[in-house]
Structure 1
Amino acid sequence: MIDEKEDLTLTFKALSHPIRREILDFLKEGPKTTGFLSEQFENISRYAVMKHLSLLEDAELVIVRREGRIRENYLNAVPLQQIYDRWMNQYQSNIASSMLNLKSKLERENETMEKNSLKHDSFQIEQKITIHAPVAKVFDSLTKDINKWWAYRLCGDDSTLSFDPTLGGKFIETNSDNNAALWGTVNYIEAPYEIRLQGLLGMKGAVNSSYTFKLEGDRDSTTLTLSHDAVGLLDPEWKNAHEGGWEELLGKFLKAYVEEGKKYQEVGE
Structure 2
Amino acid sequence: MHNEQLAAVFKALSHPIRMDILDFLKDGPKTTGDVNDNVQDVSRYAVMKHLTVLEEANLILIRRQGRARLNYINVLPLQQAYERWVSQYQHSTAKSAIALKRFIEGGEENMTEQGLQHDSFQLEQEFEINSTPAKVYTALTEDIGKWWAYRLCGEGSTMTLTPEVGGTFIEKGQHGAAALWGTVYFVKDNEEIRLQGLLGMTGAVNSAYTFKLEPKGNHTVLKLSHHAVGLLDPEWGRMHDEGWKELLGQFLKDYVETGKQPEIN
Tell me how far 1:114 sits from its aligned partner. Answer: 8.0
For normalisation by structure 2, the TM-score amounts to 0.56
Match of 2:129 in 1: 131
Match of 1:159 in 2: 157
Report the Cα distance in structure 2 between the residues aligned to 1:239 and 1:217, rounded to whole angstroms. Answer: 29
Report the Cα distance in structure 2 between the residues aligned to 1:224 and 1:218, rounded to whole angstroms. Answer: 10
Match of 2:212 in 1: 214
C-alpha contact 2:198 2:207 (8 A) present in aligned 1: yes
Q: Structure 2 matches for 1:189-228, cutoff 5 A?
A: 189-217=187-215, 220-228=218-226
Tell me how far 1:116 sits from its aligned partner. Answer: 2.8
**Stretches of 4+ moved more than 2 A in 1?**
113-116
Q: Secondary structure of the equivalent of 1:202?
A: coil
Report the Cα distance in structure 1 between the residues aligned to 2:190 and 2:134, rounded to whole angstroms. Answer: 6
Q: Structure 2 matches for 1:32-47, cutoff 5 A?
A: none
Q: Secondary structure of the equivalent of 1:216?
A: strand
Match of 2:89 in 1: none
Cα gap change, 1:231/1:134 in structure 2, threshold over 3 Å: closer, same or farther? same
Percentage identity across aligned positions?
A: 59
C-alpha contact 2:119 2:229 (8 A) present in aligned 1: yes
| Aligned residue among 218, 228, 231 for 1:230 | 228
Match of 1:260 in 2: 258
Give, as a single letter, the amino acid of the residue that structure 2 aligns with 1:210.
A
Match of 2:240 in 1: 242
C-alpha contact 1:135 1:219 (8 A) present in aligned 2: no
Give, as a single letter, the amino acid of the residue that structure 2 aligns with 1:195.
I
How many residues align? The count is: 155
Q: Secondary structure of the equivalent of 2:243?
A: helix
Tell me how far 1:184 sits from its aligned partner. Answer: 0.2
Give, as a single letter, the amino acid of the residue that structure 2 aligns with 1:211.
Y
Match of 1:85 in 2: none
Match of 1:172 in 2: 170
Match of 2:180 in 1: 182
Cα gap change, 1:198/1:115 in structure 2, threshold over 3 Å: closer, same or farther? farther
Q: Structure 2 matches for 1:137-148, cutoff 5 A?
A: 137-148=135-146
Q: Secondary structure of the equivalent of 1:265?
A: coil
Match of 1:89 in 2: none
Tell me how far 1:265 sits from its aligned partner. Answer: 2.1
Tell me how far 1:220 sits from its aligned partner. Answer: 2.3
Q: Structure 2 matches for 1:93-132, cutoff 5 A?
A: 116-132=114-130
**Which whole-Å deviations, capped at 9, do the CAs of 1:151-183 have from their partners, x for residues lacking one?**
000111211111101111000000121100000
Report the Cα distance in structure 1 between the residues aligned to 2:242 and 2:112, rounded to whole angstroms. Answer: 24
Tell me how far 1:264 sits from its aligned partner. Answer: 1.3
1:251 is aligned to 2:249: yes
Q: Secondary structure of the equivalent of 1:252?
A: helix
Report the Cα distance in structure 2 between the residues aligned to 1:202 and 1:221, rounded to whole angstroms. Answer: 31
Report the Cα distance in structure 2 between the residues aligned to 1:151 and 1:133, rounded to whole angstroms. Answer: 21
Q: Secondary structure of the equivalent of 1:158?
A: coil
Deviates more, 1:135-144 or 1:212-221: 212-221
Q: Structure 2 matches for 1:5-20, cutoff 5 A?
A: none
Give, as a single letter, the amino acid of the residue that structure 1 aligns with 2:202.
K
Tell me how far 1:140 sits from its aligned partner. Answer: 0.4
For normalisation by structure 1, the TM-score amounts to 0.56
Report the Cα distance in structure 2 between the residues aligned to 1:172 and 1:139, rounded to whole angstroms. Answer: 17
